[in-house]
C-alpha cells in the first residue's frame, strides 16, 4: 500500500508541474490569457464540469462509475427552474427540491448496483437514459426559461470582481469531499472496498449500505452542479452538457483515479479540472471549434490511459481486477 501511495503522490506532483507548465506556455504565447477578464471567465466556466467530476470521484474510488451525473444535474436544474418560475411562494423550495432529486437519483443507482448486482457502468448508463427521458417529458423538449433574475445573478457574480461564486461553491464542495474521503470511516471503507472487495467483506464492511451512500453522495454533488448551471445560463434543458460526460471521465483518469477502484484524490481532480480548463481556453484562443476540442479530449483520454497502463506493467495492470472479479 505504501508504495502505491508514494507513486500516487508523485503522480499528483507531476500533474501539478504539468498544470503550471501549460499555464506558463499559454501566458507567454497568448498575450491576453492572464487578463482579469479571462481568468474570471475560466473561474466561472470550469465549476460546472468540475463539480460533475467530483461527483464521479467517489464512485470510481469504490470500484464503480456513474455515467448518469450529467442527466441528474439536468433533471435537478429542471425541477429547480419550475419551482423558481412558479412564484415566490415556491421559490424557497427550489434548492432543497433539486438536492432531493439528486439524492433520490443517486440512491436509485446505488440500489440497482447493491441489490440487483448490476454492473455500475450498465446500471448508470440505463439510469442516464431514464433521467434524461424524465427531463424531456417534463420540459416537452424545449428549455425552461423565465427563471427569476435574482437567481441568475449569483451565478454570474464575483466576490470583489475577482472570485466567481461558482468557483467558491466548487472549492467548498471539493474541500468537503476531500475531508469525507480522506478522514472519515466511510471514505476509508470506500477505498478499501474499491481496492479489494473480498477483503472488505471479510473486514465486516457493509457492502450494500456503502454502495448506496457512495452513489447518493454522487447524486447530491451532481444536483449542486445542476443548480450552478441553472444560475449561469438562466435556463434548464434535459440535453445540456452533452460533451461533459467525456470530459468528466477524462478528468478523473488524468487525475490519477484508478478505473478499478481504491485510489484517487480530490486534489488530483482539482488539478486535472484546472489543466483541462487551461487547455480548453488555449484552444479557444487558437480558434479551434468545439468539435475539435471533443476530438482532442477523446484522444487525450486514450493516450493517458495507455500511458498509465504501460507505466503500471501493461497487461499486468489488468490482472488484479480479473482475480478480484473471479473471487
d(CA 242, CA 264): 25
pLDDT score for 317? 41
Architecture of domain 34-326: Orthogonal Bundle (1.10)
pLDDT (tens digit, 9 = 90+) per residue, 278-295?
A: 888 888 877 776 677 778
Indicate the average pLDDT of the chain.
Answer: 87
- Contact present, 248 and 239 (Cβ < 8 Å): no
pLDDT recorded at residue 190: 94
Distance CA 210, CA 193 (A): 9
- Residue 311 banded pLDDT, cuts 50, 70, 90: low
Contacts of 311 (CB under 8 A, 6+ apart): none
CA distance 316 to 213: 31
Domains of the chain, residue spans: 34-326
As a whole number of angstroms, the distance between CA 171 and CA 216 comes to 20
Q: What is the pLDDT of residues 215-242, one digit of tens each?
A: 999 999 999 999 999 999 999 999 998 8
Query: How far, in Å, CA of 78 to CA of 98, rounded?
Result: 8
For 164, the enclosing helix (H) or strand (E) is: strand 163-164
Q: What is the pLDDT of residues 60-83, one digit of tens each?
A: 999 999 999 999 999 999 999 999
Contact 238, 131 (CB under 8 A): no
Q: Model confidence over 120-140: pLDDT tens digits?
A: 999 999 999 999 999 999 999
Give the per-residue pLDDT at 5: 52
At residue 161, the pLDDT reads: 72
- 78 or 32, greater pLDDT: 78
Residue 295 is predicted with a pLDDT of 81
Name which of 55-59, 145-149, 173-177 the model is least confident about: 145-149
Rounded alpha-carbon distances, angstroms, from residue 52 to 64, 73, 221: 15, 8, 7
Which pTM value belongs to this model?
0.89
**Which pLDDT belongs to residue 8?**
67
Amino acid at each position: 500500500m505504501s508504495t502505491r501511495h508514494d507513486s500516487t503522490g508523485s503522480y499528483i506532483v507531476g500533474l501539478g508541474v504539468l498544470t503550471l507548465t501549460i499555464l506558463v506556455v499559454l501566458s507567454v504565447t497568448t498575450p491576453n490569457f492572464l487578463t482579469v477578464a479571462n481568468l474570471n471567465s475560466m473561474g466561472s466556466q470550469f465549476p460546472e464540469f468540475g463539480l460533475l467530476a467530483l461527483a464521479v470521484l467517489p464512485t470510481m474510488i469504490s470500484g464503480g462509475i456513474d455515467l448518469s451525473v450529467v442527466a441528474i444535474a439536468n433533471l435537478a436544474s429542471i425541477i429547480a427552474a419550475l419551482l423558481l418560475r412558479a412564484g415566490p411562494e415556491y421559490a424557497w423550495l427550489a434548492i432543497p427540491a433539486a438536492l432531493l432529486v439528486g439524492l433520490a437519483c443517486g440512491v436509485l443507482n446505488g440500489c440497482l448496483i447493491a441489490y440487483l448486482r448490476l454492473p455500475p457502468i450498465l446500471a448508470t448508463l440505463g439510469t442516464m437514459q431514464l433521467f434524461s427521458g424524465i427531463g424531456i417529458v417534463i420540459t416537452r423538449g424545449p428549455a425552461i426559461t423565465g427563471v427569476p433574475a435574482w437567481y441568475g445573478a449569483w451565478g454570474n457574480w464575483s466576490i470583489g470582481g475577482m472570485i466567481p461564486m461558482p468557483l467558491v461553491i466548487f472549492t467548498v464542495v471539493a474541500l468537503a469531499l476531500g475531508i469525507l474521503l480522506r478522514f472519515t470511516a466511510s471514505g476509508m471503507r470506500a477505498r478499501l472496498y474499491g481496492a479489494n472487495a473480498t477483503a472488505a467483506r471479510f473486514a465486516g464492511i457493509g457492502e450494500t449500505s456503502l454502495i448506496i451512500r457512495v452513489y447518493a453522495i454522487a447524486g447530491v454533488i451532481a444536483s449542486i452542479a445542476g443548480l450552478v448551471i441553472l444560475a449561469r445560463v438562466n435556463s434548464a434543458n434535459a440535453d445540456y452538457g452533452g460533451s461533459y460526460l467525456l470530459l468528466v471521465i477524462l478528468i478523473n483518469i488524468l487525475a490519477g483515479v484508478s478505473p478499478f477502484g481504491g485510489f484517487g484524490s480530490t486534489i488530483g481532480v482539482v488539478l486535472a479540472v484546472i489543466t483541462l480548463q487551461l487547455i480548453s481556453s488555449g484552444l479557444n484562443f487558437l480558434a479551434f471549434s468545439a468539435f475539435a476540442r471533443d476530438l482532442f479530449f477523446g484522444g487525450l483520454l486514450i493516450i493517458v490511459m495507455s500511458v498509465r497502463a504501460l507505466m503500471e506493467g501493461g497487461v499486468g495492470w489488468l490482472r488484479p481486477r480479473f482475480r478480484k472479479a473471479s473471487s
